[in-house]
Structure 1
Amino acid sequence: MNTDGTAHTGTANTDDDWTDRTVLVTGAEGFIGSTLVDLLVARGARVRALVHYKPYGEKGHLAHHLADPDGRVEMWAGDVRDAGRVNDAVAGCDTVFHLAALIGIPYSYASPGAYVQTNVTGTQNIAEACRRHGVRRLVHTSTSEVYGTALTVPISEEHPLQPQSPYSASKIGADMTALSFHHAFELPVTVVRPFNTYGPRQSARAVIPTILAQLHAGAREVRLGSLAPTRDFTYVTDTAEGFLAVARCERAVGEVVNLGTGEEISIGDLARELIAASGREAEVVVDPARLRPSGSEVQRLLSDNSRARAWAGWQPRVPLREGLRRTSEWVADNIALFAPDRYQV
């Protein structure tokens, strides 16, 4: 009970000082991962960035850190499926943010086994290494896709899990693996469940950059799959801030925490907002090649973010229209990264 007589709702640690902590980020080159690395470096952390090995050595969204004279970002090439490499990467780390995953729902229809190997076995390797080396906290990344089509809204962390695609099934398996290490071995793990994150650096496989790439390439028709599903979109810096907030929240140990805005928009309405944000003129057209199997399409996602707010003191700060404007500008400036006339699975 608080001193004013009200109920105590959480035990968030307000210490946001990451100075000289050694932090591992898996999937560090990715959209959310690289944004998280930027935030950690800005707050003084030393980041070990586990990135997928590429023989040509390109560093993608982390390239700008290579010029840092303090060397705050250490690049580690590896694969979460390799238990030995994961063990070496985790050694000596204070906190581990596990974002590495095989993502993308359409490709999971073609190669479901690859999703199990990377997402489930990879998470087991991370959890085992964190247990062996006694890390202070493992923050494991889930996805709102594990909920499937909403049975009740807003979707709380108690909502049933529904594997409506091989991708979501693999993430459910990964979540349960991470939590099992808490229950069985007292590993201090928190499962963070972002809803639909968007913003600069996102790849063409996601709906917002798909739409914007078509618009900025001059398309007069925006080709999409189903327009009816609704999603809860969170700007990428808000999601990354949520990771940091949960990492310092003791109440979240052994728990799942949603990160979403608590607001939804249909894909059709989203497309119209993006047309306005881009300053272009276009009409929206349904492309049958982009439709998911009927039993696999998630019709509605809307988050209940009350745990994140009450336990960790987190709240989203970037309104949707502002976030779409920023993202539109980034896609326009980086249109060479996209192939707007090709459907990216």
Structure 2
Amino acid sequence: MKILVTGGAGFIGGHLAEQFVRDGHDVVVLDSLEPFYDIGIKERNVEVAREAAATGDGHYTFLEGSITDEDLVTDAISDVEFVFHQAAQAGVHASVENPEKTTRINVEGTFTVLEAARAAGVNRFVNASSSSVYGKPEYLPYDEDHPTTPVSPYGASKVATEQYVRVYNEVYGLPTVSLRYFTVYGPRMRPNMAFTNFVSRCFHDEPPVIFGDGSQTRDFTYIDDIVDANKRLLETDAADGEVMNVGSTDRITIDELAHVIRDEIDPSIGIEYADPRDGDAQHTHSDVSKARRVIGYEPTVSIEEGTRKFIGWYRENEDWYDPLVRRS
């Protein structure tokens, strides 16, 4: 199969591109290499996928450019069968500071990719959405029928992209799926995430810093489970037209997470607290029963196991990864 991964130099997109290549598919990655964080991590994602292509049956092509570039997007999609649309201006706090950029890239960019996909007649368009669409919880865990009341421009942009994706399915017959990710973590993850910073600080004998009192909860989802959910959509049309949660089914407070990471590395380190930040959701918790029923999704990695996996990876890759984390 020939697959386009937008944002394929990013964390999730990079893992998808690598896995698709390892599975023998021909992968085209379109990424702007936006320096939202140090592009050394993005370059590493490209390098890993290229190494996978060199040792297997798949092929890998990298295109540098923006999803808002209509001509480039049209050319990239012209002969692919599947589009995994991961590209976005990430970051809740970045969206609070610059909502115009978030809207332009996430909403207008998604529209550009959808139009090109419709014209090309792709087999399926898989859209990366986010638990940020839920915002204020009326009940937990969130199911897909929960109201979407985002508390940040980023969350609002993801609601808008979901609606465009739905309309392109209902009006134009484009097979589409939106996956709502819940706080994804794992090797080569974004450095400006609490999880990464907790690990980095502990490795440098510095206390993790929690913004707020630590009572806020997150449903942390290991990257391998996210990749598994996406891979299933290459083989089934059962989810076409649907929106589905992809989470871990469990949650942990940020305070507990800091202690789990600290205790795994050095239990003698303290914990520090700072003022809460604008735009942060208070709680996230996924109900994945729909994804389980429709595509057979089953999360397999607990937060404790995932933490050990990430810390083990970090130890082996600190030389190149840590300086980037420290500058974020």
Fold agreement, TM-score > 0.5: yes
Confirm whether residue 36 of structure 1 aligns to residue 19 of structure 2. no
Number of the residue aligned with 1:250: 237
For 1:224 and 1:329, locate their aligned partners in 2 and report how far apart those are by CA, in whole Å.
Answer: 23
Cα deviations by residue, 1:246-291 (Å, 9 ceiling, x for unpaired): 3433221111011011111100001111112224531211122xx2
Number of the residue aligned with 1:292: 277
Q: CA RMSD in A?
A: 2.2
Question: Does the aligned pair in 2 maintain the 1:246–1:308 contact within 8 Å?
Answer: no
SS at match of 2:160: helix
For 1:144 and 1:137, locate their aligned partners in 2 and report how far apart those are by CA, in whole Å.
Answer: 22
For 2:327 and 2:273, locate their aligned partners in 1 and report how far apart those are by CA, in whole Å.
Answer: 13
Higher helix content, 1 or 2: 2
Structure-2-length-normalised TM-score: 0.91
Structure-1-length-normalised TM-score: 0.87
Displacement of 1:317 in angstroms is 1.3
Displacement of 1:71 in angstroms is 6.3
Structure 2: 5+ residue runs without aligned partners? none
SS at match of 1:190: strand
Number of the residue aligned with 1:18: none
Confirm whether residue 45 of structure 1 aligns to residue 25 of structure 2. yes
Displacement of 1:54 in angstroms is 7.8
Number of the residue aligned with 2:210: 224
What pairs up with 1:228-239 in 2 under 5 angstroms? 228-239=215-226
Number of the residue aligned with 1:7: none
Amino acid at match of 1:30: G
Question: Does the aligned pair in 1 maintain the 2:203–2:265 contact within 8 Å?
Answer: yes
SS at match of 2:155: helix
Structure 1: 5+ residue runs without aligned partners? 1-20
SS at match of 2:191: coil
Amino acid at match of 2:309: R
Greater Cα radius of gyration, structure 1 or 2: 1
Question: Does the aligned pair in 2 maintain the 1:214–1:340 contact within 8 Å?
Answer: no
Tell me the number of residue pairs that the alignment of Structure 1 and Structure 2 aligns: 319
| Counterparts in 2 of 1:54 and 1:305: CA distance versus 1, 3 Å | closer
1:174 to 148, 153, 161: 161
Amino acid at match of 2:300: R
SS at match of 1:59: helix
Cα deviations by residue, 1:166-223 (Å, 9 ceiling, x for unpaired): 111111111111111112211111001111111110122111101101111221x211
For 1:215 and 1:53, locate their aligned partners in 2 and report how far apart those are by CA, in whole Å.
Answer: 29
1:87 to 71, 74, 91: 74
For 2:261 and 2:33, locate their aligned partners in 1 and report how far apart those are by CA, in whole Å.
Answer: 35
For 1:194 and 1:121, locate their aligned partners in 2 and report how far apart those are by CA, in whole Å.
Answer: 21
| Counterparts in 2 of 1:235 and 1:122: CA distance versus 1, 3 Å | same
Identity among equivalent positions (%) equals 31
